[in-house]
Amino acid sequence: MFTKKDWLSAFYAALIAFCLYSSLFAFRKAFNVAAFEGFNLAGLDYKIVLVITQVAGYMASKFYGIKFIASMKRMGRGRLILILAGVAWLSWLAFGLIPAPYNWPCLFFSGFPLGMLWGVVFSYVEGRRMTDFISAALAVSFIFGSGLAKSVASFVMEQLGVSEYWMPFATGAIFALPLVFFVVLMEKIPPPSEDDIRHRTVRLPMTGSQRMELVKTYGPGLFLLVLVYSLVTILREVRDSFMADMWRDSGDQFNLSVFAQTETIITVVLLVLIASMVLIKQNFKALMLTHWIMGIGFLLSLLITIAYRQQTASTFYWMLGVGLGLYLVYIPFNSILFDRLIASFRITGNVGFLIYLADSFGYLGSVTVLLSKSVFNIQLSWLNFYQELVLVSGIIGLIATAASMFYFRNKFKKRELAPPF
């Protein structure tokens, strides 16, 4: 049973983690709200070049992070967060100073440091009995944070008259002091207790041989999970980067506050659902339930997209429904899935290695899809292209999720370790 002190500590950690990562999103997602029209580079629309470049930076950081985050020590993490965010902010300064279209490389140097931050922040909260609750708040922060960043960026351009090239730096400036404040508070979160370690295993830096042994032991299951995560990462990146463009393509009237509206609703639903998983003490039971949640997410995305194509759902409800569906898959990867997997099989290591392994291939897929649409000149609007993407990914995702569930269930039955808590 959890004590009052346990709940208070968890609420504190969840609130700080949520606020910290929401602040960080201002340094990444604000630029997506601008159109960046008037320039082309190598025959590609300039905004597409910017999106691909930033995602490529993210992808590179994820591959680098497989080793860096997995072997990261627990000292100096607050300073590291500020340094990484500071490099990204200075990249936006360079983006404003260098005239277009020569400023596109700045997006790579914005994406690379930001890609490291998830693993650093999550290391504060993993391996606790309350990790499900705390990580739920942390994970949904990038849904809310993305919408908030876009809304603030719109305000900066429309009300303050800042140009779209200086808007990302100005938006980052608004969140700079809150970021420092929340990093200081994050550093005050106590480490996992002995009871936490007994229930969720101790989380330690991993050597290269340990990482290889983990992949060797659980390879097929990890492959399926990486496939699922790659699919939803592609869906999330396209939706996040071209959400405004899809609204324009639909022909429906909308104002820029709609981003905050849809993402806030999704945030609340996911927060309640994922946080409630803390009540499930048996780690393997929670792991299986997480697979069911992911399957429901793919199914929801498929059904709402079919309804939208048949004109029985509005653009607002389609954007809301498909967003909720993909985040029902995406959020567990960034909160409870790998933490419960490690605890179920008593694996020596940390969540950072597994999430960055999945992330690296997820962003590789995103870059590939974005380049394919542009380079091969696929004659579909972002709205129609995304609908096709949801339908294909949804079917493959459902099959892969079911196969992963079957694999880990069989693996669990055959294991010779002590039963999980």
Question: What CA–CA distance (Å, rounded) separates 381 from 388?
Answer: 11
From the list 90, 89, 75, 91, the residue with the least C-alpha distance to 27 is 89
Predicted confidence band at 394 (pLDDT cuts at 50, 70, 90)? Answer: very high
Residue 260 has pLDDT above 80, yes or no: no
Q: Which residue has the tokens 């659902």?
A: 273
- 177-181: long-range pairs with CB below 8 Å, 24+: 178/19, 178/23, 179/20, 179/23, 179/24, 179/82, 179/85, 180/82
Q: Which domains does the chain have, with CATH numbers?
A: 4-414 (1.20.1250.20)
Mean pLDDT of the chain: 88
Among 140-154, 225-239, 402-416, where is mean pLDDT lowest?
140-154
- Give the model's pLDDT for residue 376: 66
Q: Percent of the chain scored above 70 by pLDDT?
A: 96
- Give the model's pLDDT for residue 1: 66
Instruction: Give whole-number Cα distances, 314 to 2, 140, 153, 242, 320, in Å.
Output: 43, 24, 26, 18, 10
From the list 227, 219, 159, 217, the residue with the least C-alpha distance to 348 is 217
Tell me the two tokens of residue 218.
């659980």
Q: Tell me the whole-structure pTM to 2 decimals.
A: 0.81
Q: Higher model confidence: residue 170 or residue 264?
A: 170
Q: What is the pLDDT of residues 106-154, one digit of tens each?
A: 999 999 999 999 889 988 988 888 888 898 888 888 778 887 888 899 8
Predicted confidence band at 420 (pLDDT cuts at 50, 70, 90)? Answer: very low
Predicted confidence band at 421 (pLDDT cuts at 50, 70, 90)? Answer: very low
Predicted confidence band at 417 (pLDDT cuts at 50, 70, 90)? Answer: very low
Instruction: Give whole-number Cα distances, 15 to 23, 91, 324, in Å.
Output: 12, 29, 22
Question: What CA–CA distance (Å, rounded) separates 301 from 132?
Answer: 24
Asked if 120 and 70 count as a contact pair (C-beta separation under 8 A), the reply is: no
Spatial CB neighbours of 141, under 8 Å, sequence gap ≥ 6: 17, 18, 19, 20, 21, 22, 25, 267
Instruction: Give the pLDDT mean for 342-348.
Output: 88
- Give the model's pLDDT for residue 254: 65
- Give the model's pLDDT for residue 284: 94
Q: What is the pLDDT of residues 41-98, one digit of tens each?
A: 877 888 888 988 998 898 899 999 888 888 887 778 999 999 999 999 999 999 999 9
Q: Where are the alpha helices (DSSP H) in 28-166?
A: 46-68, 77-97, 106-122, 131-158
Question: What CA–CA distance (Å, rounded) separates 104 from 94?
Answer: 10
Q: What is the pLDDT of residues 1-23, one digit of tens each?
A: 678 888 888 999 999 999 999 99
Question: What CA–CA distance (Å, rounded) separates 251 from 404?
Answer: 40
Which residues, in sequence order, are bridge partners of residue 45? 40
Q: Percent of the chain scored above 90 by pLDDT?
A: 49
Element (H, E) at 41: strand 40-41
Instruction: Give the pLDDT mean for 234-257.
Output: 79
Residue 226 has pLDDT above 70, yes or no: yes
- For 204-273, give the DSSP string: ----HHHHHHHHHHHHHHHHHHHHHHHHHHHHHHHHHHHHHHHHHHH-----TTHHHHHHHHHHHHHHHH
Q: Higher model confidence: residue 241 or residue 317?
A: 317
